[in-house]
Amino acid sequence: MAYRELSKAEKVARWFNQRRIGTAMLHKKSIRWFQKKTGLSNYQIQWLSFAEGVIITIIIL
């Protein structure tokens, strides 16, 4: 099977997808680091994030 050259749009889409995956992995690593430092469980992290969102919303409004 012969491989064809990728179009410009396909190259851009592939580049954005790689960046998106890299950002997600960075986010995962930072959450794991924070959990190790604080000793919080996944459930506690979810409540903390919810509370943070509520507080920011109240400040903005």
Note the pLDDT of residue 23: 82
Note the pLDDT of residue 42: 93
Task: State the residue for tokens 């109240």.
Answer: 58
Contact 45, 35 (CB under 8 A): yes
Note the pLDDT of residue 2: 60
- When pLDDT is cut at 50, 70 and 90, the band that residue 5 belongs to is confident
Averaged pLDDT, 39-57:
96
Q: Which residues have a Cβ under 8 Å from the Cβ of 21 and sit 6 or more positions away?
A: none
Note the pLDDT of residue 50: 97
pLDDT in tens, 11-43: 888 888 888 888 888 888 999 999 999 999 999
Angle subtended by helix axes 42-60 and 8-38, to nearest 10: 110
